[in-house]
Amino acid sequence: MTMHRIGIIANPVKQGIAFTVEQFVNQAVAQGMVVCLEEDLRTACKGKDVNFRPADEIPAHCDIVVALGGDGTILRAARTVRASQIPILGVNLGRLGFLAGAAPEELEKSILRLKSGEYQVEERLGLEAELDGKNVFALNEFVIEKGVLARMVQVKTWISDTPISSFFGNGLIVATPTGSTSYNLSAGGPILHPSIEAFIATPICPHSLTLRPVVVPSNQSITVQVVAEHTDIMVTADGQTLSPLAPESKLVIRRAPYPTRLINLEGIPFYQLLRQKLDWSMDRRDPQE
């Protein structure tokens, strides 16, 4: 399928973003493509023959979304498209860019591939939870964590309706395979291939030597309850703080009903990406590595 309508999402305050946006728009328009930018980018693309829309209206006016920025911008694009299942191309302007499918120095080639349909689309499992009466989405992870100055908390978890653990510590990470290389990895959780239909429950600084991360099939849910004498307990989704979690209340996290579709222009295998981005399994004593 060829793409002729492109939506652009970017961080308007990122240094140099105006130049990159303008460069991408010029090349896309030159290829006969219709471009729609989120409203916050209006100052970065003055006088251009493009449309501007609020971010939540972008999916209705494009066949594909291009996220210009780091992984945070790509995660925001994933929240924006959600149920529309519009594919997302991440162009890495950040430090690591683990989710990005293209490099900024290859914009022209990227646009030509988008126009001709020469790319792979990977479907990624997401998570959903109900908080304060709203369904909240996360592509990487949900984190239930105590505040910086608060004492450790007791975290109780259930997989579906079965109690699985109760421990004292700093909190819990519930991560997708896509998010397994993020906070989950730093907390000692396993790396999952993005195609695996499962997610991970990883305790944060548990006050127990026996507690370990658990990989959960995607057709089950994880329920989390935090018991504490204080109220400084936060819930975040992909690094975005949502709201405090009331003590004793339960948060149910399950698979999102729709996958997130990420474009991989180069078709780079996941394990090769690990080696490139994380120096995974590389021996620095070998000068050829």
Q: What is the reported pLDDT for 4?
A: 79
DSSP 161: T
Report all structural domains of the chain as residue ranges with CATH numbers, in order of start: 5-125+259-278 (3.40.50.10330), 127-255 (2.60.200.30)
Residue 283: predicted pLDDT: 63
How confident is the model over 162-176, as pLDDT tens digits? 999 999 999 999 999
Beta strands in the chain, from DSSP E residues, in sequence order? 5-10, 34-38, 51-53, 64-69, 88-92, 120-124, 127-131, 134-138, 141-146, 153-159, 162-169, 171-175, 198-204, 214-217, 222-227, 233-237, 240-244, 250-255, 260-264
pLDDT at 213: 96
Catalytic residue of the set 56, 71, 279, 283: 71
Regarding pTM above 0.85, the answer is yes
Q: Categorise residue 75: left if φ over 0, alpha if ψ from -120 to 50, beta otherwise.
A: alpha
Percentage of the chain beyond pLDDT 90 is 49
**pLDDT above 70: percentage of residues in the chain:** 91
Distance in angstroms (rounded) separating the CA atoms of residues 50 and 33? 10
> Averaged over 254-280, what is the pLDDT?
85
* 112-122 residue pLDDT tens: 888 888 888 99
Predicted confidence (pLDDT) per residue in 194-233, tens digit: 999 999 999 999 998 889 999 999 999 999 999 988 888 9
Task: Establish whether 63 is a catalytic residue.
Answer: no
CB atoms within 10 A of CB 233: 21
How far are the Cα atoms of 43, 45, 68, 78, 228 from residue 9, in angstroms, in the given order?
14, 13, 6, 10, 39
Average pLDDT value for the chain: 87
